[in-house]
Amino acid sequence: MIRRGAPPYLECSTKGDKRFSAFCARIKSRGYNSIEEIYQAAKIFPNGDTGLSWRKAKGRKAVNIKELKKLYSELWDVYIEDNPHLLRVLKNITGLSDIFGQEGCQCQVIELWRIRNESSDCRK
């Protein structure tokens, strides 16, 4: 589990507010694919495999970690830009959680907390 901020936490997964789940957040400019689908398909594996479905790629170590981290951040930025009403939701919460999140892995909580705190109303 990953948490940022303070309770009460808004759960950002398919078990909580699905609008903030990487599996449910879809990017219009990317053919309405989910952030999870785009991210997993962008992985490049040591044998050269890439473009895999999220089921085949998830949990496997990729060789392009730096690029993936950048992509994941950019995808969440685009998603929130495309859905400005969700930024208002983020600004009004005190904390975020993801019961499936693991420290050291890409997680929507980390990106959404960053976006929240970078917005002009929430800078600390």
**pLDDT 10s digits, 50-99:** 999 999 999 899 999 999 999 999 999 999 999 999 999 999 999 999 99
Cα–Cα distance measured from residue 7 to residue 69, given in angstroms and rounded to the nearest whole number = 27
User: pLDDT at residue 34 above 90?
Assistant: yes
Residue 124 lies in a domain: no
Whether residue 3 contacts residue 110, with contact meaning beta carbons closer than 8 Å, is answered with no
Residue 123 lies in a domain: no
pLDDT number for residue 105 = 84
Q: Which domain holds residue 92?
A: 2-118
pLDDT number for residue 121 = 62
User: pLDDT at residue 43 above 70?
Assistant: yes
Total domains in the chain come to: 1
Residue 96 lies in a domain: yes
pLDDT number for residue 123 = 47
